[in-house]
Chain A
Amino acid sequence: MTVSYVIKRLIYLVFTALLVSLIVFSVTQLLPANAATMILGEYATDEALAILNSKLGLDDPAVVQYFRWLGNVVQGDFGISLRTSQPVGPTILNAFGRSAILAITSLVLVCIIAIPLGVLAASRRGKPTDLAVSLVSYIGVSMPEFVLATLLLVWLASPSIGLFPASGYVPFSEDFWGALHHIALPVLTLTIVLTAHISRMIRSEMADTLEMDFIRAGRLRGLSRRRVLFRHALRNSMLPAITVIALDVGYLIGGVIVVEEVFAFPGIGRQLILAIQNRDLPMIQAGALIMAASYAVANLLADLAYGALDKRIKY
């Protein structure tokens, strides 16, 4: 792995981010209505609209708007939210931070649960354990987040049980246990869905690896079952798993959007939906950019990790 490889990837990353912003911007240009309509709401008059449009610079040609936006971003200025008149940068970073807590907690939990589960299933192929794990993971991957989340809400947050709050968010800085209590359901939802996904993946990777010659060779050298399973099979299955987990970051981000909506969790997903609903262009752009960047960075990290772990890969 060379420095030049990393540089190359970073260039790609910037290129990707640029392309993402361009795509998102183009799509937003097509959106019916604009921020001014939303700001004025059901009180708009044509003159008021025109005034607000020119004040917000929404009447400039799209190209001018895009490059103005880009120019500011390059200087680290993400603009002012059209919906709330608050600066976009801090708002989106805050929201992102909260979402990241959700995502990372889920991801860590998933890794702790899913990997052993997948290994277990693969090593007992066709046995009841495998069937049980497979069945559960089938249900897990087949349950859209919003269904799962709603069901959890009905069961665990219903007034009669009231185990968890139905929604909202408490900052960790304010009340640690309260915060934990509040993220429990969203994290549970994401974890269940992702665990199903990743354990299934690990299982199939493992199953493939277990068919490989070197597994048989290990067995026929008299190595113990455990060693063959964990030292050889798992390690070789983890490599492709890393890539898939990184790709799942994209999936996770999508899941986060839904889960935040269901649990009214003030993260980046909700922020983006609000922004789209309100045609809050700077916010949409910043949100999409930050999501795309986290996806790209996750993939980059995965590739680097892959390169570090798998001695065969030469960048």
Chain B
Amino acid sequence: MLFLIKTLRALMRSPQGAVGTVLVFLLLLISVFGPLLAPQDPESFNFGSRFAPPSAEFLFGTDWFGRDLFSRILVGARSTVLLAILATFIGTASGALIGIFSGFVGGWVDELIMRTIDAIMAIPGLLLALMILTVLGSSSLNAVIAIGVAFAPGMARISRSTTLAVRELDYVSAARARGESKLWIIFAEILPNMVAPVIVEATIRVAFAIMTLATLSFLGLGAQPPSPEWGLMIADAREHMFRSPWPILAPGISIALVAIAFNLLGDGLRDVLNPHSQE
């Protein structure tokens, strides 16, 4: 807890960290309370106001069914942001565990795991996610799993190299010399000391997950219509793009903004959690 407050305070001191933290905080609020804030039902058609430009009634305009884009963005924040965080969590947690295990055990097990990970990483993540989703069927939750799986190898690599670095540190040697169990060494000695780089990486990956999630929905493999998932909104809006830009602009800018927020936060955290920058 103390650590959290301290980190937050440090974060607020750098402009990136401050902007990122505030933005992400706002986003989380919107994700949780978005549906309550939405002025209109995000799914109801306004037959008379299709393709309306932004106005007092429709802050961001309306789409081809006359649905209020502002409400759709607010409600869609949940499926976009929270799911991206979930996907990142899945990828990070599984990747980190694999990475630590591989790095700690070493030897041919490590080599085998790393070669496999090399191979998986050689398949473009999007392609992998695409195939997994085609197998599982399209749905937001499956997209989350697919992104998680696609993220895991990269995460495993990072955590492995961190593990290798941490493993050589004297306090791990001390624990080994002391005859500590492997579980203790992995979970008590190594893990806590590699969360910082992992958290930083994960934060930046949330931005990436948001984009990938949207991309998958865009390719028709994620969220299901008429859900106001932002990527799906853009995909559907493309047909109508020459009639009104708002159905594309609203979710497009939202995605970029959210990704920027997480990138900023990640960069802020990188500076804060970096041991060199600590006083």
- B103-134 vs A, CB cutoff 8 Å, 1 = contact: the mask equals 00000000000011011111111110011101
The size of the chain B interface, using a CB distance under 8 A, is 43
- Among A12, A23, A31, A261, max chain B CB count under 10 A is at A23
Are B130 and A273 within 8 A (Cβ)?
A: yes
- Complex: how many Å from CA A293 to CA B122? 7
- Complex: how many Å from CA A139 to CA B260? 7
Are A138 and B252 within 8 A (Cβ)?
A: no
Option from A147, A154, A158 in Cβ contact (under 8 Å) with B214 = A147
Are B131 and A28 within 8 A (Cβ)?
A: yes
For B242, the chain A residues whose CB sits under 8 A away are 154, 158-159
* B259, CB-defined interface residue at 8 Å: yes
Are B127 and A272 within 8 A (Cβ)?
A: yes
Are A147 and B124 within 8 A (Cβ)?
A: no
Are B259 and A276 within 8 A (Cβ)?
A: no
* B272, CB-defined interface residue at 8 Å: no
* A194, CB-defined interface residue at 8 Å: no
- Complex: how many Å from CA A146 to CA B255? 11
Contacting B at CB under 8 A, from A85-104, are: none
Are B252 and A147 within 8 A (Cβ)?
A: yes
* B85, CB-defined interface residue at 8 Å: no
For B258, the chain A residues whose CB sits under 8 A away are 142
- Complex: how many Å from CA A55 to CA B255? 47
- B225-260 vs A, CB cutoff 8 Å, 1 = contact: the mask equals 000000100110010011001001100100111111
Option from B115, B127, B257 in Cβ contact (under 8 Å) with A254 = B127
Option from B119, B241, B264 in Cβ contact (under 8 Å) with A20 = B119
* B140, CB-defined interface residue at 8 Å: no
Main SS of the interface on chain B?
Answer: helix
* B203, CB-defined interface residue at 8 Å: no
* A32, CB-defined interface residue at 8 Å: yes
Q: How many A-B residue pairs have CB under 8 A?
A: 133
- Complex: how many Å from CA A35 to CA B38? 45
- Complex: how many Å from CA A253 to CA B126? 9
Are B115 and A276 within 8 A (Cβ)?
A: no
* A143, CB-defined interface residue at 8 Å: yes
- Complex: how many Å from CA A261 to CA B252? 17
For B131, the chain A residues whose CB sits under 8 A away are 24, 27-28, 31, 276, 284
Main SS of the interface on chain A?
Answer: helix
Are B119 and A16 within 8 A (Cβ)?
A: yes
- Complex: how many Å from CA A16 to CA B207? 29
- B187-211 vs A, CB cutoff 8 Å, 1 = contact: the mask equals 0000000000000000000010001
Are A146 and B123 within 8 A (Cβ)?
A: no
- A25-45 vs B, CB cutoff 8 Å, 1 = contact: the mask equals 001101110000000000000
- Complex: how many Å from CA A22 to CA B242? 44
Given contacts A139-B256, A143-B259, A144-B255, contact A32 B135 (CB under 8 A): yes
Contacting B at CB under 8 A, from A137-164, are: 138-139, 141-147, 150-151, 153-154, 158-159
Kindly provide the distance from the CB of B157 to the nearest chain A CB, expressed in whole angstroms: 10
Known contacts A143-B259, A147-B256, A254-B127, then 8 further A-B pairs from the complex at CB < 8 Å, ordered by chain A residue: A12-B118, A20-B123, A142-B256, A143-B256, A147-B252, A150-B252, A272-B127, A296-B122
What are 13 A-to-B residue pairs whose CB atoms are below 8 Å?
A16-B115, A30-B135, A142-B207, A142-B259, A144-B211, A144-B218, A144-B256, A150-B252, A151-B252, A153-B241, A250-B122, A295-B124, A296-B122
Q: Which residues of B contact A (CB under 8 A)?
A: 115-116, 118-127, 130-132, 134-135, 137, 207, 211-212, 214-215, 218-219, 231, 234-235, 238, 241-242, 245, 248-249, 252, 255-260, 263-264
